[in-house]
Structure 1
Amino acid sequence: MAGAIIENLSGRKLGVLIVFLMLCQLICFLVGALIAPAPSSVMSILGTKCIDKNYRHDKWYWTRGKGKCQSIGDYKDPKVVEQDINANNIIFSFQIPSPKDNTVLDYSRWHQNLIAMMHLDIQYHHEAKFDPNALMTIEARLGYRNKGDPEDRWVEYASSTEERILDCSIDPIHKKEEYMYNCSSVPLFELGSVHHDFYLLNIRLPISTQEEPRDPPTNDELGYLTDVWVAFIHQNGGFTKVWVSLKTVFFPTIVGIMVWFWRRISILSRPPALLEYMLMVLGAALTILNCPLEYLTLYFDCPWMTVVSDIRQGLFYASLLSFWLIFTGEHLMVRDDIERNKVKVYWRHLSAVLGGCLCLFVFDMCERGVQLTNPFYSIWVTEIGTNLALAFIILAGVCAGLYFCFLSYMIWKVFINISSKRQSLPAMSTARRLHYEGIIYRFKVLMLATLLCAAMTVIGFILGQVSEGQWSWDENIKLEYTSAFFTGVYGMWNVYTFALICLYAPSHKRWPKDQDWPASDNCDTQSSTGEEIEFSRLATEPSEMSSITAFAQKAATD
């Protein structure tokens, strides 16, 4: 029987391969820890209060450079009284990025995405009408310009009138003048690419007046609003460069090992086994994930890149989770009269995985899909949407944890199954017994590596969901995300997939038949003729891809 490389590779060569893969894994962690900066940065900017008695919706208000707006420091400024300024005449302007140490900064296309969260400073005032859960109407415009453009030339990127719900509170003992309410941040916009050098955000909180009557009245319960802050979160360019560099290295590597693997499969006289098909599916999904499409953002405006990245990662998750179920199931080989090596045997398991991934896709399209046309849209703007989003994230985390528990149970059953089947080993010849004991040991190590990879994947998925959601639900969650974790887990996926494809490729070596074993083992062989004949018949089945499954099947039929 030819078997797989993991069964026939010498111990020295296998050790060299494992050391090489571990070094690759270590390098991925070190690259993230020593070279890459933090994955993202936050820039909190206080809005400049621009005033204009003749406000127009098509006019831009900026704070630096030629033609900057007329501004006030606070509402006690004499200009407020002189020009009879009200809320409709105040525009909060945010020109980003802000200068640092008298140096003009600009955004880089390596920054990839830009998220904005708005926070209101509302001061307690006994005469101000305030509702802690008031519905706030926001008129927002986002513009851009590039290097070399005139300082007063801003081009509109998007504009929208949105509604957000406040979530404010104050300690009763602090209900005094000049004390601030504790208000949660609200999502403002999200861009899937940062294609331009400078951005300008104008925000107006209109109220109902005789000049601008509104039915029903808007923003009449916001209290004494003193300032507006916006936190701009972007992915660090240095981290993006490291991330894309890893993709550039892994992409041709996985493509090459897949071509090599399929060439070995195609020269066999038997059709490919189910696990071999699943390895190709897993490799294809990882190849799609590895494809460095981020290079396109350096030359083109790609607001859809975030959605595409989520879809690619979802495809990989679906492939990886499905592979683990089939991988453990094919090696379980319990006495259940089920014909293995067919996808339909696992339709319940795969339906659950694909159903969960489909729900994630629908949820993502409800948020980021709509943002392709309106970056100011957010599913978190209503109480129902917020509760639905939170419930979905919590449910996704619980399902990921339950999946890991179920996979751990299946792997435990595989270990119990293989251990119970080892009772037939003493009846075999010494050389053959040592051969299968080595195979079982290697297989157990591989299953433990699978369990470790599954644990890291589930932890990474849960932390990723919390990382994306914590800005929206504005909880005081202190999570230290390091570049080493992200690059390490990403490298682990590639190393693990590379190892599986390499070790489970068909081997060119063939173990000798019973009569070809050394003469010193003939007594053992003769004492177990029935066992050897039965084993040989099962080991040469054309549907098997490795002798470990044949061994498990053989003991299951005893």
Structure 2
Amino acid sequence: MKLSLMNVCGFVFLLLFLLLVTAGCFFLGAFGPPHTNVRHNDLSPCVIKPRNEPHPPMVDSINCDQLGAKLVEHDQSKLQVVPLKSVTHYVHIPNEKRGARMNRWYQFMTVFIDIQFTSEFVKKVIEKNAAVISLNITVGYKNTNTIKEGSWSILASGHVSRVMNCHYNENDFPSCNHIQLFELGSVHHSFYLINVNFDPFPLEKTIPDHRGLGPVKEINMLEIHHSGGFTIIFLGLKSIMLLVTSVIFIYYQWHMSALNRPANVIEKTLREVVITLIFMNLPLEYLKLWYDLPWMVVLNDFRQGLFLCALAFFWAVFIGEHQNYDNLSESGVAKGIGNHLKQLLVVAIGCLTLFIYEFCERGIQVIFPFYSLWSTREGQKVAWLLVLIALLCVLVYYGVLVVQAVRVVVTLWKREKSVEGLSETARKRYKKVFFIFKCQLVVTLTAAALCVATFLPSELLLHQWQNVNSYQYSFYSGMITGNYGLWNAYVLVTMLLYLPQHEDQDQKSDSTSAGDIDMQQLMAKTALE
């Protein structure tokens, strides 16, 4: 691959461009609207009125009898008065008293339930190694603020079981984590109603002296949705990046088509990276403003994963092509992608593992929003296994990348010594190319390190437990926009840095005054010496 002979000022300008775009995108997300908004709602308990209808309407404030808070403690004596199976908890999203409505800019919505048990009961759960609760969930919707019975349409319903993870907090006080109820990949409607029924079965066989939920102090609902302001900023950013990357890619392809030689493996891989980047930059989320597309969240994760997979392939090929000198042909050009099968196999395993995790989690939620891979003990083991395999692949890949980069730097250092005997003009020309190439290696390793340090944790930290509105800025939001800006800026800088020169320009220049320097051939000479 030939390195364009731009001057040092031009290269410094490209580096400043990369830094400014990354920093600007980070601060745009960090100091702009938060990535998610959190709303807390209290569940209202109701006694179900007996009805002879085969499909009775959802329980709402107009067709239920309100229960007092003491009646929802669900101990044995209270159950003799009101059976647990006759109690339905309902909640409006958003709260009907606030006069608000949901917005299609919200993109997705996740709902959790927070059951606060008595400390004595939680201690028993911890001693018996957690417990499982079963519940029936029904989600309804409407788009007009009509107050009448039967105005809600059912969106989804199902029977689910959830594992309770209880522990002692930092104050040595027993407590249980929030329990995820469902996740919607599209917020297409204005109002939502949730009905929850708890099964009146023993919580756990090891705790037979408690029925239903056990002693409960309070039940709250936690609703998290994508911030509308963040969605507007991010889609605007994607639209700008789509335009810029498309124009630069067309310019790059025009230079490639003018060459009288086939593209080498690095140029082909770079082209694939740019194509996946443009595919990722397409602001398809605008379609959700008109259509109910719950699968769009999965498609977005797939597009991002596809780009990162292509980028990891490019980094392995880019550094490997300048390190595998024993496999160079007589012309000094590497034989092909077969020289990097080990690194590419690690990338493929990592990407495939994350794809399986995404499909098992959000993919199934498109059809059944109440499903969660983390809801059962077996599912948690599978989820952690997939995450650990992906993490291991990422660490092995980056370790090999660093080792190869060190070998390339050592070869560059030897080559720098070998050009001391050349003329002053040729020596300056070679040293300038060495400097630019070493900086490109540093930028590549830095970008790879940032991807490793932020992408995988961001996949696990999909839900923020704290109220993000209480912060003046959000590091998580800045991490998302900063990574996005870094990926785009890095690919743009790489395309401009390795922009092919026309053959007629190469023919007008000699080997020491103009044209491009083929780094593979140049460094192969050092390896053979």
Structure-2-length-normalised TM-score: 0.86
Aligned to 1:421: 415
Distance (whole Å) between structure 2 residues aligned to residue 111 and residue 359 of structure 1: 29
**One of 35, 38, 60 as aligned partner of 2:34:** 38
1:455-466 aligned at under 5 Å gives the runs: 455-466=449-460
Q: Give the aligned partner of residue 445 of structure 2.
A: 451
CA distance in structure 2 between the aligned counterparts of 1:72 and 1:252, rounded to whole angstroms: 58
User: CA deviation digits over 1:398-444, x for unaligned, max 9?
Assistant: 43233222212211111011111223202322211211110000111
Deviation per CA, 1:466-514: give whole Å up to 9, x if none: 312786xxxxxxx963422221111010000011111111124447336
Cα distance in structure 1, aligned partners of 2:497 and 2:70: 71
Q: Secondary structure at the match of 1:379?
A: coil
Which of 279, 285, 302 is residue 270 of structure 2 equivalent to? 279
* Equivalent residue, structure 2, for 1:167: 165
Bigger CA drift: 327-336 or 162-171?
A: 162-171
Distance 2:436 2:83 in 1: 76
Q: What is the CA-CA distance between 1:122 and the residue it aligns to?
A: 2.0
Q: Please give the alpha-carbon distance, in whole angstroms, between the structure 2 residues aligned to 1:391 and 1:468.
A: 18
Answer yes or no: is the 8 Å Cα contact 1:121–1:181 preserved in 2.
no
Report the AA paired with residue 105 of structure 2.
W
Residue 50 of structure 1 contacts residue 92 of structure 1 at CA under 8 Å; is this kept in 2?
A: yes
Q: Verify the 8 A CA contact 2:235 2:283 in the aligned structure 1.
A: yes
Q: In 2 relative to 1, CA 271–187 (structure 1 residues): closer, same or farther, beyond 3 Å? A: same
- Select which of 57, 66, 71 maps to 1:71: 66
SS in 2 for 1:8: coil
**Residue identity in the other structure for 2:430:** Y
Which blocks of at least 5 consecutive residues in structure 1 are unaligned? 175-179, 210-216, 472-478, 519-538, 540-544
Q: Which runs of 5+ in 2 are unaligned?
A: 203-207, 466-472
1:84 positional shift: 4.2
1:232 matched to which residue of 2?
A: 223
Return the alpha-carbon distance in structure 2 between the equivalents of residues 23 and 124 of structure 1. 52
Identity of aligned residues (%): 28
Q: Is the 8 A contact 1:142 1:158 kept in 2?
A: yes
Q: Output the CA distance in 2 between the equivalents of 1:308 and 1:467.
A: 19
Of 465, 478, 481, the residue aligned with 1:484 is 478
Instruction: Tell whether the 8 Å contact from 1:51 to 1:91 is kept in structure 2 after alignment.
Output: yes
Q: Residue 304 of structure 2: which of 308, 313, 319 is its match?
A: 313
Q: AA paired with 1:61?
A: V
Q: CA deviation at 1:189?
A: 0.5
Pair 1:253 & 2:244 matched? yes
Secondary structure at 1:440's aligned position in 2? helix
CA contact (8 A) 1:144 1:154 kept: yes
For residue 187 of structure 1, the aligned residue among 175, 180, 184 is 180
Q: 1:132/1:8 Cα in 2 relative to 1: closer, same or farther (>3 Å)?
A: closer
Equivalent residues in 2 for 1:13-92, closer than 5 Å? 13-34=10-31, 36-54=32-50, 58-63=56-61, 67=62, 69-76=64-71, 84-92=81-89
Partner in structure 2 of residue 141 of structure 1: 138
**Which range moved further: 480-489 or 38-47?**
480-489
- Name 1:506's counterpart in structure 2: 500
1:170–1:441 Cα change, 3 Å: closer
* Cα displacement (A) at 1:160: 0.1
Q: Which amino acid aligns with 2:301?
A: D
1:141-198 Cα shifts (integer Å, max 9, x gaps): 0011113545541110000011122233579x99xxxxx9522222210111111111
CA distance in 1 between counterparts of 2:259 and 2:162 reads 63
Q: For 1:480 and 1:241, how far apart are their aligned partners in 2?
A: 16
> 2:430 — aligned with what?
436
- Describe the superposition over 1:326-359 as per-residue Cα deviations: whole angstroms up to 9, x where unpaired: 0001122434567714112212211221121111
Partner SS, residue 144 of structure 1: strand
| 8 Å Cα contact 2:183-2:370 kept in structure 1 | yes
Q: In the alignment, is the contact (CA less than 8 A) between 1:206 and 1:218 conserved in 2?
A: no
- CA gap of 1:168–1:449, structure 2 versus 1, over 3 A, is closer
Letter of the structure 2 residue corresponding to residue 158 of structure 1 = A
- For the residue of structure 1 that corresponds to 2:462, the secondary structure is helix
The equivalent of 2:468 in structure 1 is none
Alpha-carbon distance change, 146 to 11 in structure 1, aligned in 2, over 3 angstroms: same
Q: 1:120 to 1:517 in 2, by over 3 A?
A: closer
Tell me what 1:198 maps to: 191
Q: Which amino acid aligns with 1:405?
A: G
1:380 is matched with 374
RMSD: 3.2
Higher relative contact order (CA 8 A, sep 6+): 2
Q: CA deviation at 1:389?
A: 1.3
Q: Which residue identity is paired with 1:37? A: P
Distance, in Å, in 2 between the alignment partners of 1:24 and 1:404 is 24
What's 1:493 paired with? 487
Please give the per-residue CA displacement for 1:110-160, whole angstroms capped at 9, x wherever unaligned: 11111112221223679x997763332211100111135455411100000
